[in-house]
Amino acid sequence: MKRIITIFFLAALVGGLPWMSRAAGIEVSTITFALLGKTTFSNTPPPKFPAGLSKLEGKRVRLSGFATPYDDPEKLIKIVLVKSPGGCFFCSPPAPNAVVFVRRVPGDPPLKNIDDMVEVEGVLHLWRTEMKNNDEAKGFFFTIDEAKVNLNRK
């Protein structure tokens, strides 16, 4: 019996993120890059977020995409999530409504060598005009904080 409990506990720690949130009674909404892409913007802030996204401000969300380094590429503690895998040097960068800044849970082990799609779950924050200039998220329309990353997304 102890062995079964130990195996269950280890499985939860390693790969149980999506179902752990549901089992704990925490509601998690799945969002998509298509929904993020409905955010409109002009040269004057703030962007206009679709109603379906605005209602998720401060709530737990899940989003799948491709991770690119924001800070240390060897650790990927902070990442930028994009819809498509890395581009080429002559392609234009993604639009601001197609990029999500992700700050992982402090103390989580570093990520390494992420080439496949990942699933990120955390608290969604939308860009606000009152953000402080020293907030690294100020350059992004969307931020997911306290994020857990599921590497087994297929």
Condensed to tens digits (0 to 9), the pLDDT of residues 78-102 reads 999 999 887 666 777 889 999 999 9
Domain residue ranges of the chain, discontinuous segments joined by +: 25-150
CATH of 25-150, one of 2.40.50.870, 3.40.190.170, 2.40.50.140, 3.40.50.300: 2.40.50.870
Contacts of 123 (CB under 8 A, 6+ apart): 58, 59, 60, 61, 144, 145, 146
φ/ψ (deg, to 5) at 86: -40, 150
For residues 154 and 118, is the Cβ–Cβ distance under 8 A?
no
What pLDDT is attached to residue 153? 55
Residue 112 has pLDDT above 50, yes or no: yes
Tokens of 70: 């924001």
| Pair type for strands 99-104 and 78-82 | antiparallel
Beta bridge partners of 126: 142
Confidence class for position 29, pLDDT limits 50, 70, 90: very high
Ranges 40-44, 58-62, 116-120: which has the least confidence: 40-44
